[in-house]
A = this chain, B = another copy of it.
């Protein structure tokens, strides 16, 4: 049994020797850091090509104390909201020649912190938290405990969504204003009785949207009955279940606001399953404007957020030079898009 030795890895040194230069020179040629005599340049390039040289990114990172990867942490890649933002991040990363490490927490806040630690170990150039703003004292403390040393060590951090105490660059969808704008638009349609399907209250995304919505109603003298506010999981089925529960217990509203489009999709199904027509019997509105909702029927009224743009922004924010001491906030307005899922009363 002849064991074939693993083909010796082609290292920089091998390339250098083959080209008759020192590793230092080879490195300089391959990284274009310094002028090198043309003749040597050619020889190195030819040797690298011939030998199929692939640099070892780990060695490079170790020696140069910097890496080309950015870490992105989101709740769920398969959720269209995060997918859209991640797509924007991806575009921004590839423009800069950076690689993206993507982690799904599957909505477990503890895992979010664990991933930050892992990304620190990877010496990620930046860590981007594409979250929904989990507002929990202990959690934010633990998160800060991870983030602060990382920042002090030169790491970059930016987040999407409002956090209470995290002092980092933030991409802030104007959830509160968006909720208010939506409420006004619905009031304009003549609605006075509303129901809301919320997600977990611990998320700022949820509480901000709800607050904006409720405040705008109040300003118009309209009350939101507590029993018409139902909490559900941040998923399609969460929306379905929340809406079903509401219908069971008695829906007293002419218009339902689902705190995210994803939940609205579930709500639409629940309403339909319950024999209600949208918008004839009840109007329905969502939030986010994920791509698919315009193709529902009826197309969903929602608050449009520039998700891909937000993804690019969070990357840009994290990487901007020089790193500002004060953390900055990039605000993104939501635009109410009235579609056929809402009708005048």
Tally of chain A residues near chain B (CB < 8 A): 54
Q: Which residues does chain B contribute within 8 Å of A94, judged by CB atoms?
A: 103-104, 106
Instruction: Judge whether B99 and A7 touch: CB under 8 Å.
Output: no
Residue of B nearest to A99 (CB): B101
Asked if A120 is at the interface of the complex by the 8 Å CB criterion, the answer is yes
Asked if A14 is at the interface of the complex by the 8 Å CB criterion, the answer is no
Task: Given A100-B101, A153-B6, decide whether A236 and B296 contact each other with a Cβ distance below 8 A.
Answer: no
Instruction: Judge whether A77 and B80 touch: CB under 8 Å.
Output: no
C-alpha gap A84/B101 in the complex (Å): 17
Instruction: Judge whether A52 and B121 touch: CB under 8 Å.
Output: no
Q: Which of these binds chain B: A58-66, A156-164, A178-186, A208-216?
A: A58-66
Q: Please encode chain A, from 88 to 110, with 1 for each CB lying within 8 Å of some chain B CB and 0 for all others.
A: 00110010000111111010000
C-alpha gap A120/B9 in the complex (Å): 12
Q: Which residues does chain B contribute within 8 Å of A77, judged by CB atoms?
A: 77, 83, 86-87, 90, 102
Q: Which of these binds chain B: A197-205, A217-225, A244-252, A264-272?
A: A264-272
Asked if A152 is at the interface of the complex by the 8 Å CB criterion, the answer is yes
C-alpha gap A165/B84 in the complex (Å): 33
Q: Which residues does chain B contribute within 8 Å of A135, judged by CB atoms?
A: none
Asked if A55 is at the interface of the complex by the 8 Å CB criterion, the answer is yes
Which among A62, A84, A296 has the highest number of chain B CB atoms within 10 Å? A62
Report the copy number of this chain in the oligomer: 2
Instruction: Judge whether B62 and A56 touch: CB under 8 Å.
Output: yes
Residue of B nearest to A266 (CB): B295
Instruction: Judge whether A78 and B78 touch: CB under 8 Å.
Output: no
Task: Given A62-B59, A102-B102, decide whether A154 and B6 contact each other with a Cβ distance below 8 A.
Answer: yes
Instruction: Judge whether A121 and B56 touch: CB under 8 Å.
Output: yes
Asked if A118 is at the interface of the complex by the 8 Å CB criterion, the answer is yes
Instruction: Judge whether B149 and A52 touch: CB under 8 Å.
Output: yes
Q: Which residues does chain B contribute within 8 Å of A84, judged by CB atoms?
A: 78
Asked if A291 is at the interface of the complex by the 8 Å CB criterion, the answer is yes
Asked if A50 is at the interface of the complex by the 8 Å CB criterion, the answer is no
Residue of B nearest to A124 (CB): B57
Q: Which residues does chain B contribute within 8 Å of A118, judged by CB atoms?
A: 99
Asked if A123 is at the interface of the complex by the 8 Å CB criterion, the answer is yes
Which residue of B91, B99, B272 is within 8 Å of A122 (Cβ)? B99
Residue of B nearest to A102 (CB): B102
A-B pairs with beta carbons under 8 Å apart, 11 shown:
A6-B153, A9-B153, A54-B120, A55-B121, A58-B123, A77-B77, A80-B83, A91-B106, A99-B118, A100-B103, A268-B295
Give the top 10 A-B pairs by smallest Cβ distance, nearest first: A78-B87, A58-B61, A102-B102, A58-B58, A57-B121, A58-B62, A78-B83, A90-B104, A57-B122, A297-B297
